[in-house]
Amino acid sequence: MKDLDYYLNLDWTLVEGQDLDFEGNIYYYIEIKEIPSFVFCAKTPERAREKYKEQLEWTLIVMLEDGGHITEPGELEDEPDWESLCP
């Protein structure tokens, strides 16, 4: 059976970026492609990379308790090649 340690050690697809908060201050975020509801924000990119796994752990605990399917890295289909589909 796949447990929390299994999921914590997967090679998740991280999407890193920056944005502005409501006061115009820059913040940095990390999203996980396979978990659309996941986002972690911090004041520096280093802090975001350092701390996102704590939130990932809590997210995975809830997902495991819920018993639903957890999409793993490599399970998602790639985007279609729109240029070849729409010449």
pLDDT in tens, 13-31: 999 999 999 999 999 999 9
**35-78 per-position pLDDT tens digit:** 999 999 999 999 999 999 999 999 999 999 999 899 999 887 76
Count how many domains the chain has.
1
Is 35 domain-assigned? Answer: yes
For residues 28 and 36, give the distance between their C-alpha atoms in angstroms, rounded to a whole number.
17
Is 41 domain-assigned? Answer: yes
Is 81 domain-assigned? Answer: no
For residues 25 and 32, give the distance between their C-alpha atoms in angstroms, rounded to a whole number.
23
Phi and psi for 73 in degrees, rounded to 5?
A: -55, 135
Q: Which domain holds residue 64?
A: 4-74
Residues 29, 47 contacting (CB under 8 angstroms): no
Is 56 domain-assigned? Answer: yes
- For 68-80, give one letter per residue: b (16+ CB within 10 A) or e: eebeeeeeeeeee
Is 28 domain-assigned? Answer: yes
**Residue at token pair 């495991």:** 64
